[in-house]
Structure formats: structure tokens, C-alpha cells
A = this chain, B = another copy of it.
Amino acid sequence: MTDLTPVLDRADKNLDKSLERLFELVRIPSISTDPSYKADCRKAAEWLVSALTELGFTASVRDTPGHPMVVAHHEAGRADAPHVLFYGHYDVQPVDPLELWENDPFAPAIKELDGGRKIITGRGTSDDKGQLLTFLEACRAYKDTVGSLPVKITILFEGEEESGSPSLKPFLEANRDELKAEYALVCDTGMWDTQTPAIAATLRGLVGEEVTVQAADRDLHSGLFGGAAANPIHILTTALAGLRDETGRITLPGFYDGVEETPENIKASWGTLGRDAKSFLGEVGLSEPSGEKGRSVLELTWARPTCEVNGIWGGYTGEGFKTVIAAKASAKISFRLVGTQDPDKIRESFRTYIRSMIPADCSVEFHEHGGSPAIQLSYDSPVLTKAKAALSDEWPKPAVIVGMGGSIPIVGDFQTYLGMDSLLVGFGLIDDRIHSPNEKYDLNSFHKGIRSWVRILAAL
């Protein structure tokens, strides 16, 4: 492997200019949900095209029915180098309530906190303008030093990530050949803590269901009918209670098909992170893990499937009391999936079970609220191993492979439409206040983020 010192030095020397470029981009108020910022969204896209062109990319603004995409290409210095797609988004969240901001959200600045930690303030500094620029500035350090890039790079910057990405899937489908690479690099996640970089290797999938149980054809008086007429709340609560056994396992037949145990070395590394039930749940006023018994909270939230009732309603719910037997009762239920659990099979198993709990004279209706499989990178894939080593070289503590309890839709879309896995590396911190007033990005995240990408690009 080439000696990276000149490239890393160059990244250090460039830092002031890199910051200037970040400030320029942050000053453009590219709020995608608010139509009055439509021109600003385009301006941000054009700014990126110009920056990419300056870096030697073939770059263009690509129109969509919504805000434009930015697509760019750059060959590698060597013909046998891998080809990666780098993804980020240039749109930002709205800024209200504006009065809670200590600094103008679109006038970025460096601020020194007590204790000397320096932060970059402004909307989008962390989500996602600062993050995506770490990658471009790493490319710049390469070009300035070596004159070429170590991998072939396609860039995709989106302008609708904060407003549901309505144009993304059609765009991926229409431009499959142009966008397809060996794998994607996604820079929209965070560090474990200020000292410890992280790579997200698993993202749980999701199945959403809504169930409505209907008993009588009208609300009944519980004095006249109580004890004889079916109560849909009883039917629903009994069915929901039966979804879980006393060990916390989900009882649906076939539910655990495709769920694999987390490797012992990964579980051991999670054990060193100091995030136990007390610290994790203590933040929200709880202390006891509630799911499957005998597993750590990190395993429960990163590597185990769940079934949660997210909402329930039926009968009289106002002030006082009404002795009614409701005609209907409803619940919204979601399953988080891991491994290769099949969303369709789980939905069907759930519906079959619920139907089996409905008395002959009652009925049930289902309403689907989406479904997506889990994303699971192999814990020992070469890309993951290389990126982990590169990050560990840069930061005080070794990189950790983490899971994510929620989903990042783009990762599933890249698998579905472009048939490729994603490497999720980012430098955000838990206190970055993304989506809230006073968003910031640590100067250290930006600086060492650039250096991290230099190392990762070399390692790939």
C-alpha cells in the first residue's frame, strides 16, 4: 500500500479551505420540504456540480419531478481498481422554531465549547452537507497529491432525503446502468462516541400492520349485552397478548426463520461498549430489558427481531365513563426484522394467527403499512474488514461494528434497484441535534472524517 502520509498531510493543510467550502454550501438554505426554497435546492445542486467539476469529475444536475439529483463520475488511477457509488444528500430540514437558534442556521461559524471542543454551527453541518464534504475533500487531497483517485467513483447526491425521497426510486430504476457500482458508500450515520468510529452492518427491516376487529354491528350497552355479546377489545387484547410467550419470544409460526445468532466475537465487542441495560434504558426512565430474556440491550435492539404494538384504540376513551361495548377495536403493530426474515411471510403468519383468534360471528380487517427486509452485511466481508482497519488507524479507539435498530431506506433501495450492498460510515455524534435547532458538526468529525475517507479509499 502506498504511503498515505502526503495525502493525509494535504488534507490537514487544506482544512481551512475545506471549511470555507462547507460554509459556502451551508449558506444555501436548501430546505426540501418547503416549496419557497426550491431555487435554493437547485443552487445547492449546482454548487456541488461545480465543486465536483473542479475536482475532475464529469458532473451534472439531473432534473426530477422534485428537486434535482447530482450525478458525477471519475475514473480510478488504476484500471483494476474497484468501483464505488458514494451517496449523500444536499437538502436540509426546516429550521423553525428559529428563535431557539443561538446562531443564524444559515450563517455557519466555528464555536469553541468549554473544554476546548470546537464545533461548526448551522443547519446541515452534520446532516448531511458536512458529512458528504468529508468524502469530496478526501478526493481533493488525493487529486492534489497523487493526481488521481485510488478507486473509480460514481457520486449520487439527492435533494429530497428530508422529504421522503419521492423521486429516488424512479431515478435509480431509470439510471440503473449509470449508477451501478460494486458497492455503495453512504455517509449519513454516526460515530459510537467522540473517540470511537462505527460502521453500521445491520439495519432492521420493518413490517407494519393495522388490524380492526369488528364484533356487533353497533356499539352496545354493556348492561344489556355485557356477558353475552362479543367485545372486540377482549378479542384484540387477547390476540395481541398471545403474540409473545413468557420468555419474550414471538410465538408466530415461522417467525424466527432466517434469524441467525450474532457471532460471539461481535457480541463480545458490543460488550466492551459500556452500553448496558442500566445506561441505555436509564436515559428514558426504565431499567429492565423487556424483550427476549438473556440477551443484552444492544443485541435486542440491533440483532433481534421484535413485535411492537405502536397504537391501540377502541370504545370510549374520553373523560368519565361510558358503559359501552364497542363495535370495533383497532391496533397498529410493527415487526422489526433481522437476517433474512421474509416480510411477506411474517405478514401472512401474523394475519393467519389473528384470524384464528376471531370468533365465528366477528370479523377482522387488515391494512398494510409497508414492509422491507433487514439489511445485513456479512460481519466478515472484505469491505467491512478493510474499512474497519482504516478507521481504527485514524481514531483513538478501534472502530466498532454496530447495528441499527431502525431502517435507512436508501440502503434497501440500493439493494433492490442496483443489487449492491452499502458500507455505512459517518462521523455524526449523538449530540449533533440534527433536525433540531442549533445543529452542529464537530470540527474533529469534519477534519478526521476527511482523513478517514483518505484511509478508507486507500484500503479499498
Cβ of A323 to closest chain B Cβ, rounded Å: 6
Q: Is the CB of B310 within 8 A of A322?
A: yes
Q: Provide the residues of chain B in CB contact with A285, threshold 8 Å.
A: 216-218, 361
- Are B227 and A321 in contact (CB-based, < 8 A)? no
**Segment among A117-125, A166-174, A299-307 that sits at the interface with chain B:** A299-307
Query: A225: CB under 8 A from chain B?
Result: yes
Q: Which of A315-361 contact B (CB under 8 A)?
A: 315-317, 320-326, 329-332, 334, 336, 359-361
Name the contact of A288 in the complex, choosing from B230, B286, B308, B336 (C-beta under 8 A). Answer: B230
Contact A227 B301, beta carbon cutoff 8 Å: yes
The residue from B204, B290, B406 contacting A228, defined by CB atoms under 8 A apart: B290
B320 touches A369 (CB 8 A): yes
Q: Which residues of chain A (218-251) have a CB below 8 Å from chain B?
A: 218, 220-231, 233-234, 236-238, 240-242, 244
Which of B312, B316, B322 is in CB contact (< 8 Å) with A317? B312
* Residues of A within 8 A of B (CB-CB), count: 80
Q: In the complex, which residue of chain B has the Cβ closest to the Cβ of A246?
A: B238
A238: chain B residues within 8 A (beta carbon): 237, 241, 244
- Of B220, B310, B317, B407, the residue contacting A321 (CB under 8 A) is B310
> Given the complex of chains A and B, what is the CA–CA distance between A233 and B332 in angstroms?
11
Q: List 27 A-B contacts (CB under 8 A).
A: A208-B321, A218-B285, A222-B310, A223-B336, A223-B405, A223-B406, A225-B301, A226-B334, A227-B305, A227-B308, A228-B280, A228-B281, A228-B297, A231-B290, A233-B312, A233-B331, A234-B241, A234-B309, A287-B360, A288-B359, A288-B361, A310-B325, A311-B314, A311-B322, A312-B312, A313-B314, A323-B406
Assembly of this chain: how many copies?
2
Given contact pairs A227-B305, A229-B286, A310-B325, a sample of 15 additional A-B residue pairs in the complex whose CB atoms are under 8 Å apart: A216-B281, A216-B284, A222-B308, A223-B336, A224-B406, A227-B292, A230-B286, A230-B288, A231-B308, A233-B311, A237-B238, A308-B323, A310-B323, A311-B314, A317-B332
Q: What CA separation (Å) do A320 and B164 show in the bound complex?
A: 14
Are A313 and B308 closer than 8 Å at their CB atoms? no
CA gap between A300 and B228 in the complex, in Å? 6
Q: How far does the alpha carbon of A217 sit from the alpha carbon of B217 in the complex, in Å?
A: 38
Proximity bits, A244-280, B CB within 8 Å = 1, else 0: 1000000000000000000000000000000001001
A277-B228 CB under 8 A given contacts A237-B237, A320-B369: yes
A291 contacts which chain B residues (CB < 8 A)?
227-228
The distance from the CB of A249 to the nearest CB of chain B, in whole angstroms, is 11
Task: Assess whether A370 is interfacial by the CB under 8 Å rule.
Answer: yes
A227: B residues at CB distance < 8 A: 290-292, 300-301, 304-306, 308, 336, 405
A289 beta carbon closer than 8 Å to chain B: yes
Residues of the B chain whose Cβ atoms lie less than 8 Å from the Cβ of A313? 312-314, 317
Complex Cα spacing A359 to B288, Å: 8
A404 at the A/B interface (Cβ < 8 Å)?
yes
A301 with B224: CB separation less than 8 A:
yes
Answer yes or no: A41 CB below 8 A from chain B CBs. Answer: no
The answer on a CB contact under 8 Å between B310 and A324 is: yes
C-alpha spacing A286/B287, complex, angstroms: 45
Residue of chain B at shortest CB distance from A318: B311
